[in-house]
Structure 1
Amino acid sequence: MNILLIYPEFPDTFWSFKHALKFIRKKASFPPLGLLTVAAMLPPEWSKRLVDVNVTRLTDKDLAWADYAFISSMVVQRISARHIIRRCREANVKVVAGGPLFTSEHEQFEDVDHFVLNEAEMTLPSFLEDLKNNCARRTYSTSHFADIRKTPAPLWELADLRQYASMSIQYSRGCPYHCEFCNVTALFGRSPRTKTAEQIVAEMDSFYRLGWRGPVFFVDDNLIGNKKDLKNELLPALIKWQREHVSIPFHTEVSINLADDESLMQMMSDAGFDAVFVGIETPDTDSLAECNKKQNKNRNLIEDVRRIQRAGLQVQAGFIVGFDNDTPSIFQRQIDFIQKSGIVSAMIGLLQAPAGTKLYERLKREGRLLGQMSGDNVDGTTNIIPTMDIDTFREGYKNILRYIYSPENYYQRIKTFFREYKAPKIKAQFTFNHILALFRAIYHLGILGNERVQFWELLLWTYFHRRELLPLSITLAVYGYHFRKVSKLHVL
């Protein structure tokens, strides 16, 4: 059996980093972790190929070789997924689809032969058994959650790791919080399930043996959801691993209550974590209550951010406008919070309602849904009818993006961040691509760019005040270039 594993294309979004990746000669941020994990669950005697269309073309020759095409997709990849499915049908290749997009919208894809939904550890074995007996059903789903301690390591050897800026790894699934707009608990539950430390070390060793020395992203929706296992098992194992190998920097997603645990932040820094994404959402207390963001209430969020930064963890964050409690003042309040906190990578989105969330069900009852969400948090679209005047809503959102990504304010925010940030102990391995990135940054940003004055001011300021952060200043300048490109493409 010849299995073609196909990963659809990401559009040009905030987290695609497409414009930044060109500076380091990479084609995509991450390899398709889920699809490569599914590949490891397939019979070993089957022939397998990966086509990640973010890094290579899907050719007619690929399709002619395949007996089945396995496609995994997120919602934001919907357009590319439809195109791929159509090509498979035209080539008479049967399609097996799974992942978040199809789990929430499989009724919308008539041309898919088989759906393997929810967690593949639970549904894929039944499909494979039925396929072996020539009685495969169209849809396989479950309400149960997998024991991920039995999940195999991804087949990294199927991917060309040279094309990616970062590696991915998953330690846990699920989140103890139940925010109204988030579908994580619907997909993975509220009781975080963890892999063993031995599993994670084995996965690290597997791509380390393949030559990987770059950063690694722990894709957990909330790495600190199970603090006990994290502190007692995973972090000590990672600290030991770093001592025995060429050090690798990590980044991940956490909830803001990380700021309450000094020992945990210290352990994360010792283990190699240097950046965390946090869902701040809004500085408005009423809106936090509205969306059930309990973990963010009754806190000094700016001081929390600074505490995390001082522990050696850069805070990247998501923000949302469009809650029912939002008034026109929210746009300036978001701007003030972002600038004052020094959150350089600030993702601002209009509120959207993913299928399966409490928000989706509430707005459906209220007759306030506008169809499917795009899956892109910063494309200026929403699938809800807001309570605020729509013109005020959209213009206020655009004003946030214009302000925070303008060179003057963006570069000022980097300096605000650097004043608090403790330089990480573990740094990324310096490569020839980084040298090329430096010269490209100087040329595109420091010579040709509209931001050239701010670019050189930042480098000089960093040289005299935080010299150890000069490489990071170049990285963040390049990120800003990408963020401005994306913002102009969608809403400015």
Structure 2
Amino acid sequence: MNILLYNPDNEVTNNFMPHLWMFLLKSLTPAGHEVYLLDGNAQPTSEPELVNYVLEHRIGLVGIGAMTRMAEKAYRRADAVRAAGVPVVRGGPHVTEVPDEPLGRDGGPRHADAIALGEADQTWPRIVSDAARGVLKEVYAPLNELGKEVKPSLDNYPVIRWDRMDLDQFNLIGHFPKLARRILTGLGMPWRSFHLIPIESGRGCPYGCEFCTVTGFFGDSIRFRSNGSVVEELLLLKSLEKRRKGKFVVFFIDDNFAINPRRTKSLLQEIIAQKAQVPWVAQISMNLLRDEELVSLIAQSGGKWIFMGLESIDPENLKTVAKTFNKPGEYGAVLERLASRLIPPRPSTTSWLRRAG
């Protein structure tokens, strides 16, 4: 069976890297099936164009993932594909949060033949098998025999064969302003051969920030891949970069890359020991960057840019969004610590404001 995994563009901001879920599910697909990937951010596709693609490639199942900001476009694309007689399975955070919506159980129109709730590592192979036999169920969820949700272990993480993929089709840097592309070229990173590769080393976050859906989707317990698994993937990308004469930068998409400092340090030390350094970017909470040894290892292992959520300089605002582990009085020292090691910080804030009175 031919399968298409499709990610619609988000219409709000142009993504600067492809989503990992497509590559991960491709790697988890049972043998004997051909998987095609189409990212709408890199290849804008209208509904007629998507349907033509599906029919020309004789696709037997379309998987569509989308967050809330892309939900309406995803539904329109799914409707067009289903009207052409091809079944659609929907998944992702939005569908997991409102499972009745895509199935039309909320009184609205139906937009999917099946839905995959939560993390699909275990359910995706079953979905593919059922679709191939024409017995697709409506709901797939990672539940045990007692009906309790089971979070997949990352101990046996699949090997994503980046070397067998046409990564040029996922080059999203073309969306950057011309000035940004000129700067990349000036830094020796021609944007046409520049690729930002998503990798995860762990899932979950113990923090319960009010504005974040991570805990609801991935849970508040942390699961990690083995250091060896991550290092092998980095070495594969490093080798691939040399062969293709391009420039790769890794984005560790962990919700909080250093949430367990001891484990993160051991991973970074292994990266250094195995000479697996590639330029990388990650998201790390401000409070964890007080650790001098951690910041030093970040720099030595290839860390080039850190995203961090300051959210506010007002302690009362931080209390409102359940992020009191941030200490505004420490922001300056942390930013200086990163700058001293030539690691540009990328701080962000939320629009939450303390209400007067």
Q: Shorter-chain TM-score category?
A: 0.7 to 0.9
Equivalence for 1:196: 226
Matched, 1:89 2:82: yes
State how far apart, in whole Å, the 2-side matches of 1:180 and 1:160 are.
Answer: 36
3-state DSSP class of the match of 1:55? Answer: coil
CA contact (8 A) 1:213 1:248 kept: no
Q: Quote the offset at 1:53 in angstroms.
A: 1.8
CA contact (8 A) 1:127 1:140 kept: yes
Residues 155, 81 of structure 1: CA spacing in aligned structure 2 closer, same or farther, 3 A cutoff? Answer: farther
3-state DSSP class of the match of 1:176? Answer: coil
| Cα distance per residue 1:230-289 (max 9 Å; x no partner) | 112x10222234x36xx6311110001133200000001000101111111111111111
Matched, 1:255 2:285: yes
Equivalence for 1:287: 317
Matched, 1:102 2:95: yes
CA contact (8 A) 2:51 2:81 kept: no
3-state DSSP class of the match of 2:322? Answer: coil
Matched, 1:219 2:257: no
Matched, 1:48 2:35: yes
CA contact (8 A) 2:197 2:250 kept: yes
Q: Quick one: which of 312, 315, 321 aligns to 2:351? A: 321
State how far apart, in whole Å, the 2-side matches of 1:133 and 1:4 are.
Answer: 17
Equivalence for 1:400: none
3-state DSSP class of the match of 1:120? Answer: coil
CA contact (8 A) 1:73 1:81 kept: yes
Of Structure 1 and Structure 2, the greater helix share is in 1
CA contact (8 A) 1:122 1:144 kept: no
Q: Quote the offset at 1:39 in angstroms.
A: 1.0
Q: Quick one: which of 306, 310, 327 aligns to 1:276? A: 306
Equivalence for 2:200: 170
- How many residues of Structure 1 are paired with residues of Structure 2 in the alignment? 310
3-state DSSP class of the match of 1:214? Answer: strand
Q: CA RMSD in A?
A: 2.2
Amino acid at match of 2:209: C
3-state DSSP class of the match of 1:274? Answer: strand
CA contact (8 A) 1:217 1:252 kept: yes
CA contact (8 A) 1:68 1:93 kept: yes
Equivalence for 1:31: 18
Equivalence for 1:149: 155
TM-score (normalizing by structure 2): 0.80
State how far apart, in whole Å, the 1-side matches of 2:114 and 2:161 are.
Answer: 22
State how far apart, in whole Å, the 2-side matches of 1:159 and 1:81 are.
Answer: 24
CA contact (8 A) 2:208 2:322 kept: yes
State how far apart, in whole Å, the 2-side matches of 1:322 and 1:257 are.
Answer: 20
Equivalence for 2:180: none
State how far apart, in whole Å, the 2-side matches of 1:207 and 1:80 are.
Answer: 33
Q: Quote the offset at 1:307 in angstroms.
A: 2.4
Q: Quick one: which of 67, 72, 78 aligns to 2:60? A: 67
Asked which structure has the greater CA Rg, the reply is 1
Amino acid at match of 2:28: M
Equivalence for 2:273: 240
Q: Quote the offset at 1:299 in angstroms.
A: 3.7
Q: Quote the offset at 1:181 in angstroms.
A: 1.7
CA contact (8 A) 1:4 1:48 kept: yes
Gaps of 5+ in 1: 17-27, 328-386, 388-492
TM-score (normalizing by structure 1): 0.59
Residues 155, 75 of structure 1: CA spacing in aligned structure 2 closer, same or farther, 3 A cutoff? Answer: farther
CA contact (8 A) 1:5 1:70 kept: yes
Of Structure 1 and Structure 2, the greater strand share is in 2
Gaps of 5+ in 2: 103-109, 143-148, 174-195
CA contact (8 A) 2:50 2:77 kept: no
Amino acid at match of 1:239: I
Counterparts of 1:379-398 in structure 2, within 5 Å, are none
Matched, 1:139 2:132: no
Matched, 1:115 2:115: yes
Residues 202, 259 of structure 1: CA spacing in aligned structure 2 closer, same or farther, 3 A cutoff? Answer: closer
Q: Quote the offset at 1:59 in angstroms.
A: 4.0
Amino acid at match of 2:139: T
CA contact (8 A) 2:75 2:111 kept: no
Equivalence for 1:229: 263
Of all paired residues, the percent bearing the same amino acid is 26
Q: Quote the offset at 1:309 in angstroms.
A: 2.4
Q: Quick one: which of 267, 282, 289 aligns to 2:297? A: 267
3-state DSSP class of the match of 1:304? Answer: helix
CA contact (8 A) 1:31 1:161 kept: no
State how far apart, in whole Å, the 2-side matches of 1:96 and 1:71 are.
Answer: 6
3-state DSSP class of the match of 1:86? Answer: helix
| Cα distance per residue 1:181-230 (max 9 Å; x no partner) | 21111111222211112211222234444435321111111001121211
3-state DSSP class of the match of 1:223? Answer: coil
Counterparts of 1:409-488 in structure 2, within 5 Å, are none
3-state DSSP class of the match of 1:267? Answer: helix
3-state DSSP class of the match of 1:78? Answer: helix
Amino acid at match of 1:148: L
